[in-house]
Amino acid sequence: MQYTSLGRSGATVSRICLGTMNFGPVIDEAASFQILDAAVDAGVTFIDTADVYGGPPWSERPGHTEEILGRWLHQRGRRDDVVLATKVYGTMGSGPSDRGLSALHIRAGVDASLRRLQTDRIDLLQMHHIDRAVPVDEVLEAFEVLRAQGKIVYLGSSNFAGWNLAQYAEHARATSSPRLVTEQSVYSLARRAIEAEVVPAAEHYGIGLLPWSPLAGGLLGGILAKRDRSRSQDHPDLAKHREAVEGYEQLAAAWGIPPGELALAWLLHQPAVTAPVVGPRTMDQFDGAVRAVEVTLSEEQLGELDRLWPGPGRAPESYAW
């Protein structure tokens, strides 16, 4: 395993982040424990979850995934071996204050997550989405209180636009409030929109990127090579990207790199990326994610992938002069 800094913070994390959204709704507790055990044994020190994860479907039983992770942490005694990340924002109940980023919901949500996770602290608390209805000063003041209480260590965002990162970073600078150390965003070879503004903002402010859906929902996982072809045709983006997918899988075969590992390796070569968030459903998928860390791609190979899956370019040059 390889390690890097968590954004511009002093914390060190593995270059693979174990995502847990499948724990509960897709795989049972025993299988979840098996993957968690294998992850820490392989040197993974970064685990990501969210208060709303549960299921099925994933948000029908909010808190279930945190409960599974909490039982594993308690039974295995591995709390100090991992950097633990969760999120707040999603709907956790039927009340009007049971969602969003109000100070009321943030503080209640953190206390509930701590109980489910059976821990005294959250190492990285992430805003799961931008909340345009709540002033930035209210959000950051709530996090400052939680940090002073020792309940959180670092603050991150998820699904923020580039200007939102700047908005929070500049407010934190002006008021000495907690600053963002990470941004978790959808990012893959097939979904590169964040390169226009989010990636430049993250680079400028020293914010580490945590790409979610790094295989584009399975599109980059060898979809055409899988035996169950009838299932592979169900991917909503396959028809639109079929030519690129065919070329991609041919390149992967020629280079001797499994497609899923190639997609993760590409992300690990991109600016500002701290760790892709992988959500394995099987041990084989987890093993592939770990192997991706050791894959080195040449400039020529990166160029071939760019030609297959061109990015948007940086703003404003991508749409102006």
**Does residue 313 form part of some domain?**
no
Distance CA 279, CA 120 (A): 25
Helix (H) or strand (E) holding 103: helix 103-117
Position 96 scores a pLDDT of: 86
* Range 146-158 average pLDDT: 97
Asked if pLDDT for residue 79 goes beyond 70, the answer is yes
pLDDT-derived band at 97 (thresholds 50, 70, 90) equals confident
Position 231 scores a pLDDT of: 53
Phi, psi of 149 (to 5 degrees): -80, -5
pLDDT-derived band at 113 (thresholds 50, 70, 90) equals very high
Distance CA 86, CA 74 (A): 17
- Structural domain boundaries enclosing 201: 3-308
What is the per-residue DSSP string for 206-254?
TPEEEEESTTGGGTTS-TTTSS-HHHHTT-TTHHHHHHHHHHHHHHHHH
| Joined tokens for residue 285 | 């998928």
* Mean pLDDT for the chain overall: 93
Position 233 scores a pLDDT of: 57
**Does residue 317 form part of some domain?**
no
Parallel/antiparallel/unpaired status of strands 46-48 and 277-278: unpaired
Asked if pLDDT for residue 280 goes beyond 80, the answer is yes
Position 321 scores a pLDDT of: 86
Strand order in the sheet with 277-278: 208-212, 180-186, 152-158, 122-127, 83-88, 46-48, 17-19, 277-278
Asked if pLDDT for residue 56 goes beyond 70, the answer is no
> Angle 103-117/136-148 helices, nearest 10 degrees?
40
Position 229 scores a pLDDT of: 53
Count the Cβ atoms, other than its own, within 10 Å of residue 301: 18
Give, as one character, the DSSP assignment of residue 309. S
* Range 191-202 average pLDDT: 97
Position 295 scores a pLDDT of: 96
**Does residue 211 form part of some domain?**
yes
pLDDT-derived band at 95 (thresholds 50, 70, 90) equals confident
Q: Which of these, 108, 27, 83, 93, lies nearest to 279 by C-alpha position? A: 27
Asked if pLDDT for residue 132 goes beyond 90, the answer is yes
**Does residue 316 form part of some domain?**
no
SS3 labels along 179-207: CEEEEEEECECCECHHHCCHHHHHHHHCC
Side-chain-side CA neighbours of 220 within 13 Å: the count stands at: 23
Number of domains in the chain: 1
Distance CA 223, CA 229 (A): 8
Position 189 scores a pLDDT of: 96
Position 238 scores a pLDDT of: 84
**Does residue 314 form part of some domain?**
no
Q: Say how far residue 265 (Cα) sits from the centre of its chain.
A: 15
**Does residue 187 form part of some domain?**
yes
Q: What is the CATH number of the domain that holds 269?
A: 3.20.20.100
> Per residue in 223-276, pLDDT tens?
888 745 555 556 777 878 888 999 999 999 999 999 999 999 999 999 899 999
168 is catalytic: no
* Range 35-55 average pLDDT: 94
Q: Which residues contact 31 (CB under 8 A, 6 or more apart)?
A: none
> Per residue in 8-29, pLDDT tens?
999 999 999 999 999 998 999 9
pLDDT-derived band at 138 (thresholds 50, 70, 90) equals very high
Distance CA 272, CA 98 (A): 33
Exactly one of 53, 89, 168, 205 is catalytic; which is it?
A: 53
Phi, psi of 70 (to 5 degrees): -65, -40
Q: Which residues contact 268 (CB under 8 A, 6 or more apart)?
A: 15, 276, 292, 293, 295
pLDDT-derived band at 57 (thresholds 50, 70, 90) equals low
Q: For the chain, what percent of residues have pLDDT higher than 70?
A: 96
What is the per-residue DSSP string for 120-148?
S-EEEEEESS--TTS-HHHHHHHHHHHHH
